[in-house]
């Protein structure tokens, strides 16, 4: 289901990388550190997508090798198309973004100098109607980031009981009307299967007060987010990915994570703060090296896109960027 023919646009025309210049600025010192240590700089793009950030990194650093991870085989194909000859320095890995060790092994290394994670659903996935991510038009209720995966959103909606649906919608969508929405889904599916985005939207509309929809945007927005996260196990993957990335960074290496909603950002913040904090007991007179922080934060809180960037790319309006540099070896897991 290659999405390119849907719009007739090339991957480069269809994808504008979010906060491109700032991301490159944050990562570049890690490449300099690798060269100073006599290494070829290795970067991991854990969410390769259509390759927008990777393209510019490869263009600006002729010795850089990028290990690109994506669970969507269509994205890997479109990134290769976009990169053209630059793809000679791309090592592609089809999988989820916590698979850093496996992806690095494919490149013949076990550590990297930089990592970029641009989280969430990609622009082309939202724009490709047949993928079923969007609530703005009718399409099959799919939502799989990996088109080879077995379970779709339609399967989840059909199989989960009311309590499970309520928990998913409340937890992953932060939807205060989770209970009536879950109840309406179960009631509706007993009459006919919910297999399209349009059918699900109508059920959600029936359960959400009109006034709430007028104030909070589209009434289906949070439920669609919740189902997408559940189908793709996004938060579980992210929980595993952040420590895996930090562990495999070289000293002097840097990681940049771009989140688009609070659930993602909380996970990233918690892991980065944990690695940036001493583990020595309070008031301990001598802090041993194994208790010292492993990373230093490069951003104060989160950084956001400026008004110019948002005007050029409205999807940048919700981005939150956190970055850190590895300053010493990872703590022992013993």
- Cα of first residue to Cα of last residue in the chain, in angstroms, is 45
Helix orientation angle between 52-60 and 73-83, rounded to the nearest 10 degrees: 30
**Residue 70 marked as a ligand binder:** yes
Tell me which of 211 and 7 has the higher pLDDT. Answer: 211
- Cα–Cα distance for residue pair 331/290, rounded to 1 Å: 6
Average pLDDT over residues 122-132: 78
Question: Would the pLDDT of 102 be above 90?
Answer: yes
Question: Would the pLDDT of 265 be above 60?
Answer: yes
Tokens 């970055």 belong to: 323
Q: At 132, list the tokens.
A: 């079923």
pLDDT bucket at 334, cuts 50 / 70 / 90: very low
Q: Give per-residue pLDDT as tens, 138-154.
A: 999 999 999 899 999 99
Question: Would the pLDDT of 175 be above 90?
Answer: yes
Q: At 54, list the tokens.
A: 């990777």
Class level of CATH domain 4-124+234-326: alpha beta
Average pLDDT over residues 65-82: 94
What is the model's pLDDT at position 87? 95
- Mean confidence (pLDDT) of the chain: 90
**Topology alike, domains 4-124+234-326 and 132-232:** no
Question: Would the pLDDT of 193 be above 80?
Answer: yes
Question: Would the pLDDT of 96 be above 90?
Answer: yes
Mention every residue, 6+ apart, whose C-beta is less than 8 A from residue 5.
none
Tell me which of 8 and 117 has the higher pLDDT. Answer: 117
pLDDT bucket at 5, cuts 50 / 70 / 90: very low
Average pLDDT over residues 273-297: 80
In the CATH scheme, what is the homologous superfamily, with its name and number, of domain 132-232? Putative methyltransferase TM0872, insert domain (1.10.150.170)
Question: Would the pLDDT of 105 be above 90?
Answer: yes
What is the model's pLDDT at position 6? 40
pLDDT bucket at 313, cuts 50 / 70 / 90: confident
What is the model's pLDDT at position 212? 72
Q: At 147, list the tokens.
A: 């088109």
Tokens 């994670």 belong to: 117
**Residue 172 marked as a ligand binder:** no
Tell me which of 327 and 217 has the higher pLDDT. Answer: 327
pLDDT bucket at 124, cuts 50 / 70 / 90: confident
Average pLDDT over residues 277-292: 71
**Residue 8 marked as a ligand binder:** no
**Residue 51 marked as a ligand binder:** yes
What is the model's pLDDT at position 32? 97
Tell me which of 148 and 67 has the higher pLDDT. Answer: 67
Question: Would the pLDDT of 173 be above 70?
Answer: yes
pLDDT bucket at 2, cuts 50 / 70 / 90: very low
Question: What letters, b where the CB count within 10 A reaches 16 and e where it falls short, cover 96-123?
Answer: bbbbbeebbeebebebbbbbbbbbbbbb
Residue ranges of the domains in the chain? 4-124+234-326, 132-232
Neighbours of 81 (CB within 10 A): 16
pLDDT bucket at 332, cuts 50 / 70 / 90: low
Lowest mean pLDDT segment, chosen from 96-105, 190-199, 232-241, 311-320: 311-320
Radius of gyration of the chain (CA): 21
**Residue 52 marked as a ligand binder:** yes
**Residue 108 marked as a ligand binder:** no
């Amino acid at each position: 289901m290659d999405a390119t023919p849907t719009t007739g646009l090339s991957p480069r025309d269809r994808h504008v990388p979010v906060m491109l210049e700032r991301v490159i600025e944050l990562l570049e010192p890690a490449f300099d550190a690798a060269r100073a240590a006599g290494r070829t700089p290795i970067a991991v793009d854990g969410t390769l997508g259509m390759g927008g950030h990777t393209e510019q990194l490869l263009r600006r650093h002729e010795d850089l090798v990028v290990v690109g991870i994506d669970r969507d085989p269509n994205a890997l194909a479109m990134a290769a198309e976009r990169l053209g000859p630059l793809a000679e320095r791309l090592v592609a890995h089809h999988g989820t973004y916590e698979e850093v060790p496996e992806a690095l092994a494919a490149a013949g290394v076990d550590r990297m100098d930089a990592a970029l994670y641009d989280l969430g659903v990609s622009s082309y996935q939202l724009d490709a109607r047949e993928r079923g991510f969007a609530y703005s038009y009718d399409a099959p209720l799919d939502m799989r980031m990996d088109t080879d995966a077995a379970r779709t959103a339609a399967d989840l909606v059909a199989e989960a009981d009311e309590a499970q649906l309520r928990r998913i919608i409340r937890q992953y969508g932060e939807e205060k009307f989770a209970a009536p929405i879950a109840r309406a889904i179960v009631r509706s599916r007993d009459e006919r299967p919910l297999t399209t985005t349009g059918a699900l939207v109508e059920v959600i509309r029936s359960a959400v007060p009109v006034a709430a929809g007028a104030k909070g945007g589209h009434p289906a927005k949070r439920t669609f987010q919740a189902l997408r996260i559940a189908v793709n196990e996004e938060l579980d993957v992210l929980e595993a990915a952040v420590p895996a990335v930090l562990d495999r960074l070289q000293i002097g290496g840097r990681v940049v994570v771009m989140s688009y909603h609070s659930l993602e950002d909380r996970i990233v913040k918690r892991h980065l703060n944990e690695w940036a904090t001493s583990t020595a007991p309070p008031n301990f007179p001598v802090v041993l090296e194994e208790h010292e922080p492993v990373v230093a934060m490069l951003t104060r809180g989160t950084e956001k896109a400026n008004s110019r960037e948002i005007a050029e790319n409205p999807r940048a309006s919700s981005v939150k960027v956190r970055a850190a540099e590895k300053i010493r070896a990872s703590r022992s897991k013993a």
